Structure 1
């Protein structure tokens, strides 16, 4: 098993080298003037576009395709041969490492003079130590000032992030003081030879970089400030992560800067290459060790153990496998870095370092962006005063106990709606997308990928990504803006199920906003799609032409649909109805609940939801505009004094206008209209009053109740329905006894009850 594994990794290692070797062979052959297949095809296409006939053959008379394939094969062989030669040269140089080191050190010492390189290193270390003492004094003063200012502030994310960034800024100033003091002391004591200056500059900058990066890790782990810690880490995990991150940073920067220092001391190029290969191996080992140590804490941040069941599949995959992906990248990056070092290619040491740079820059950008969002956008939210988070209020009762006050059940739903309509969430999403896109560009650029060429595949993909992200942000901005405006215009009109309609609706703008919102969002989606297709190199002109033809076909084949759309547009232009108003469209009536481009939905007060196309509406009656007159019929007996009833109704109208609950709802008081009709058993008197739409039904209950009480007090009687049944006056009816007459009348009773019920 061990032998098989060794063979597998050996073959994998060689495959990676050969693959990359062929890629570089292509580049080298292009530099030498040998045309690749793609370059050759481009020339042929250009000539064909100009109307020229092109025939290409190789020197041996073979086809152009064979020549290109031969060029590729020769290029790959040349790169493999060059790689073998470089490995052989480095292998032969291994025994000469120690003699070359001693010879170069002797040359450097002779150039410096005095006590030589060791004395220079000692002075640099001493200068940095003195500078560190000065920086420590400054840092204690800064921390004391910050602690006195920030100690009383609450532990909130934005405040904690702001505190940590201010502290980092203070430490950055301290590191600047450290560099300044160390440079001055070293330059005063030492000479101005290039080796001395290289030693001073290289090691002071190395310490400064290690210090700055360590402070970034300190911000995000906060091992000694758990109350200000941003990630949800416990104290042990935070301390462990900070220790390993700091150790990896210090060791990694030391080995990298050591090779740079040796290069500036004019050591042999082969020696520099070998030392940098060793440094790459050390950094790879440090990275893999760090991943093993950070696996559990980072996985718990991505997905908490208690959320294992409720988490998504993607979240579980990332939580369980992120370390393998990062470790694989680090391994591949180390292999290619070593290859580039051997082949003397540019950017050889930046592949693994790019991963750390992306992490640091992303964390810093996220921190600064979070502070700006929380401190600027949070203060400008205009909906925070309209709907707030649900809170449980208590009052102190006479017995001294606290009693909870019931809160509306819809408060949590409204709070969620406000959060969805906030620009804060969108700003955070845009920040994450910007960080993700910038990180991807930085990582791919470190591998030599060119994004500036519009003809390259990656350049086009980057353009598509930018267009989609921009379209998404514009879509969300429009959605939030329309949603906030709709809430400002009154939102939804709510009514209790079963109530009769007639209440006033929303404003005209609130009625039109959903349709405008739909049109704007659809336009953004279509434009984003078209621009993205254009970025991919597709010609979108025929798409517009095809859309015109399809539109004409739809216009001829869907005339009813077109009629509905245009009818609805004219209804809205005439302001015939609004959302929340009670309308009757001829056989169907109800409250306008939803308006689309071709129909409206009416909710009947008994529950049914009716959808009515605009083209089917011939007449429309709106019961929710301006005012409404309610007329009530009263059945009174014929001996009732009509003038007395008029005065009673007039006084009752004045009384109801003074009612504390609904008196202000009257637009005109209750009045008597006199005798309206005369029936067989009753005299019909009608009364009327005017209110706003929807209020008449609430007032009607009180009016009926007070009229009954008032008439009972004043002796005014309501008439009952009377039915007179007569027997024909003939010989047969005269011969009937009283009992038989009662039986005849009883037989007619069901018919009378049926007529009364109808």
Structure 2
């Protein structure tokens, strides 16, 4: 107590602390925001908003980092697959044609395209999975009840999957076709619904150009079997008919010599992988005796080699005067006078 003019002046008592709407469960940011804004609801929600924002930034940053690392790993894996270097886990996915022809050191354009396509698909899957998990975690940080959302998403996904099962089947078939290297762009294939040269491969459809120039769009889910004429190696096979009474050993020697001469000349010699094999008599009919010859060629080159062999053997048979096949007698009944004029 102090004195002024002889009168005592009372010392003011300290004011009680101002009451705040914050409780222990509102977090440390509640009082700070209340002192700045003086707003109850904003102060109580500040911890949820600020903590949620901080955690959201951390989740997004972690998701971007993980995605970047995984994308880098996928790119390195795809680059190694394109160059022919694969880890032991993925060695069954190596290009089969290069293995069979002992050309694994050659950087084929087909292998690079296949590796780039698979790498792009894997990167898309990685991004979708990581960002989906990050989105769910962010919703959980803001107190969103995820159980109804996940249940609804499951029901919607089941309905969409059931309604679009053909589309899902096409995509899954396309993925496995690329992983297993069943065919590539430029291959001559027989897919059942269509046959021809593959022009493009997608996750849903494969486009094929047939011999007449028609472009076919074949859904991957409809392909139940694949006959690839351009993978590993091909075989040029010709059946040469000769007439009855022909000296078979003599005709066989002439055919073998002519076929070998045809395949050893340029430019066919670069497409032949083995020697001409004479399998002998293939069949005997009332019209002719058929001789069969084969030779192994590079993939897709069997048609050109077959034509050259057949032309050479036919010319050699003509020069050697090998009897041609006999023509079967006509079985048609000759018309009698007045037949067909009734009516």
Q: Distance in 2 between matches of 1:525 and 1:552?
A: 19
Q: Distance in 1 between matches of 2:169 and 2:331?
A: 59
Q: Distance in 2 between matches of 1:717 and 1:590?
A: 37
In the superposition, relative to structure 1, how do residues 483 and 590 fare at CA in structure 2: closer, same or farther (>3 Å)?
A: farther
CA contact (8 A) 1:482 1:517 kept: no
Tell me the alpha carbon deviations over residues 139-175 of structure 1, each in whole angstroms, 9 at most, x when there is no partner: xxxxxxxxxxxxxxxxxxxxxxxxxxxxxxxxxxxxx
Q: 2:175 aligned with 1:550, yes or no? A: no
Matched residues, number: 282
* Cα drift, residue 669 of structure 1: 1.1
* Cα drift, residue 588 of structure 1: 2.0
Q: 2:263 aligned with 1:676, yes or no? A: no
CA contact (8 A) 1:624 1:693 kept: yes
In the superposition, relative to structure 1, how do residues 46 and 678 fare at CA in structure 2: closer, same or farther (>3 Å)?
A: closer
Aligned to 1:514: 117
* Cα drift, residue 649 of structure 1: 1.7
TM-score of the pair, normalised by structure 1:
0.30
Tell me the alpha carbon deviations over residues 199-253 of structure 1, each in whole angstroms, 9 at most, x when there is no partner: xxxxxxxxxxxxxxxxxxxxxxxxxxxxxxxxxxxxxxxxxxxxxxxxxxxxxxx
Q: Distance in 2 between matches of 1:618 and 1:34?
A: 69
Counterpart among 307, 310, 316 of residue 710 in structure 1:
316
Q: Distance in 1 between matches of 2:155 and 2:138?
A: 25
Aligned to 2:294: 688
* Cα drift, residue 654 of structure 1: 4.2
- 1:388-537 to structure 2, matched below 5 A, reads 477=72, 481=76, 484-485=79-80, 487-489=82-84, 511=114, 514-515=117-118, 517-528=120-131, 531=134
* Cα drift, residue 36 of structure 1: 3.8
TM-score of the pair, normalised by structure 2:
0.57
- 1:57-76 to structure 2, matched below 5 A, reads none
Q: Distance in 1 between matches of 2:284 and 2:109?
A: 36
User: Cα RMSD (Å) of the superposition?
Assistant: 5.2
CA contact (8 A) 2:199 2:209 kept: no
Aligned to 1:601: 206
* Cα drift, residue 515 of structure 1: 3.9
* Cα drift, residue 694 of structure 1: 1.5
Q: Distance in 1 between matches of 2:269 and 2:160?
A: 57
Q: Distance in 1 between matches of 2:45 and 2:153?
A: 32
Q: 2:239 aligned with 1:633, yes or no? A: yes
Q: Distance in 1 between matches of 2:333 and 2:198?
A: 56
Q: Distance in 1 between matches of 2:332 and 2:218?
A: 53
CA contact (8 A) 1:505 1:579 kept: no
Unaligned runs of 5+ in 1: 1-32, 50-452, 494-503, 734-758
Which of 1 and 2 has higher RCO (CA within 8 Å, sep 6+)? 2
Larger helix proportion, structure 1 or 2?
Answer: 1
* Cα drift, residue 639 of structure 1: 5.6
In the superposition, relative to structure 1, how do residues 712 and 527 fare at CA in structure 2: closer, same or farther (>3 Å)?
A: same
Aligned to 2:183: 578
Tell me the alpha carbon deviations over residues 340-363 of structure 1, each in whole angstroms, 9 at most, x when there is no partner: xxxxxxxxxxxxxxxxxxxxxxxx
Q: Distance in 1 between matches of 2:145 and 2:81?
A: 37
In the superposition, relative to structure 1, how do residues 729 and 616 fare at CA in structure 2: closer, same or farther (>3 Å)?
A: closer
Larger strand proportion, structure 1 or 2?
Answer: 2
* Cα drift, residue 700 of structure 1: 1.6
* Cα drift, residue 586 of structure 1: 2.2
In the superposition, relative to structure 1, how do residues 677 and 628 fare at CA in structure 2: closer, same or farther (>3 Å)?
A: farther
CA contact (8 A) 2:274 2:297 kept: yes
CA contact (8 A) 2:208 2:216 kept: yes
* Cα drift, residue 647 of structure 1: 1.0
Q: 2:268 aligned with 1:662, yes or no? A: yes
Over alpha carbons, which structure has the higher Rg? 1
Unaligned runs of 5+ in 2: 1-32, 85-93, 98-107, 339-343
Q: Distance in 2 between matches of 1:729 and 1:565?
A: 62
- 1:152-301 to structure 2, matched below 5 A, reads none
The DSSP-based 3-state class of the residue aligned with 2:161 is helix
The DSSP-based 3-state class of the residue aligned with 2:274 is strand
Tell me the alpha carbon deviations over residues 111-141 of structure 1, each in whole angstroms, 9 at most, x when there is no partner: xxxxxxxxxxxxxxxxxxxxxxxxxxxxxxx
Q: 2:37 aligned with 1:37, yes or no? A: yes
